[in-house]
Chains A and B, each alone.
Chain A
């Protein structure tokens, strides 16, 4: 049962504006298409988004009524105005949050159409859980196995920066590029991270997660990011949602930042529990 949890992002750096006049495209390395699954089914467990300057409404559709109600507008999500704390600010506004989820099926393609103001940047990120994704055995653990193998705790700096293009991922930065204290042979469960400056999305990627992204929002209201993966796992008690890697592979763990503003430097401190044995169960 090869399992995976995958982060994808879709964005548009400068919208045309108008009623559902723009369609978001997948960021580099990401996809809107649901892959071939043994079970034929996965679920989106988290989704968040932002408009860089104004209110916006996003319609999420795909080709199947069991997933979203209809192909006209499917599930509509509003992104609120600055007045209430929203557009143009340091936000990653919740669209789908646990324990709610959205079923997705093999072969479907997600479509995000947007009502926005001309020249805005709009981006949406989401986490999809696949119970059985052929070719992947992503390394995730739960809190109980992390605790059982716990040796110590570490916070490690990684200065990944958002792209000069709004909504796009910036240059990938290795988890040991700015702080090399990871120990080879020890296992690290990434509990979450902290930032100096809120951003919309932070992505982790590495061979231990099948070279698929995993990640999270790092903007309001998700400012309590230090325990994000742990909290997410607690919302799904039967799932393994805490990413794990070996210290030898720290150079292969790549962080990327995507934000509604260009060139944002959030300054990430990764919070991890160091384990003597591998707490991941696949």
Chain B
């Protein structure tokens, strides 16, 4: 038997935005912080496990990459759903 001390770890994810990453009230405020959008997706997305209440990161990605992928997946799902209903209508 493996000597695991924890065998039911929960995989969790969290967004850790930049400290001065907005959202911003106006373009001047955004520009002062170096951004060219009012609501940028900043910082990192951490995927890890929770061990006795402690978060232990396994993988860190740029947050905008993760949220872009989520948005793309949502779009594809919506397209497939639409495509499915179109097929049903034509039958």
Footprint of B on A, CB under 8 Å?
A: 52-53, 88, 90, 119, 159-161, 163-166, 170-171, 173, 197, 261-265
Contacts and interface: CB of A to CB of B under 8 A. Distances in A.
A165 B68 CA distance: 11
10 contacts: A53-B69, A161-B40, A163-B37, A170-B34, A171-B31, A197-B44, A261-B65, A261-B68, A263-B40, A265-B43
A263 B72 CA distance: 18
Contact of B34 (A88, A159, A197, A262): A159
Contacts of B41: 262-263
A164 B40 contact: yes
Interface of B: 18, 21, 31, 33-37, 40-44, 62, 64-65, 68-69, 72
A171 B21 CA distance: 14
Given A90-B62, A171-B31, A263 B37 contact: yes
A14 to B, nearest CB: 10
B interface secondary structure, majority: loop
Contact of A161 (B33, B65, B72): B33
Contacts of B31: 171
A90 B63 CA distance: 12
B34 A161 contact: yes
A173 B42 CA distance: 17
B62 A170 contact: no
Contacts of A165: 36
Given A262-B41, A265-B42, A161 B35 contact: yes
Q: Is the interface of A mostly helix, strand, loop or mixed?
A: loop
Contacts of B40: 161, 164, 262-263
A57 B82 CA distance: 32
A91 B62 CA distance: 12
A238 B31 CA distance: 40
A164 B36 contact: yes
A262 B68 contact: yes
Contacts of B69: 53
B68 A263 contact: no
A159 B69 CA distance: 26
A103 B69 CA distance: 39
A148 B42 CA distance: 43
B78 to A, nearest CB: 14
A163 B37 CA distance: 8
Contacts of A163: 36-37
A160 B42 CA distance: 13
A134 to B, nearest CB: 33
B68 A160 contact: no
A261 B62 contact: yes
Contacts of A264: 62, 64
Nearest to A52: B65
Contacts of A261: 62, 64-65, 68
B65 A263 contact: no
Nearest to A159: B34
Most buried by A among B34, B41, B69: B34
Contacts of B33: 161
A203 to B, nearest CB: 14
A276 B37 CA distance: 41
A160 B34 CA distance: 6
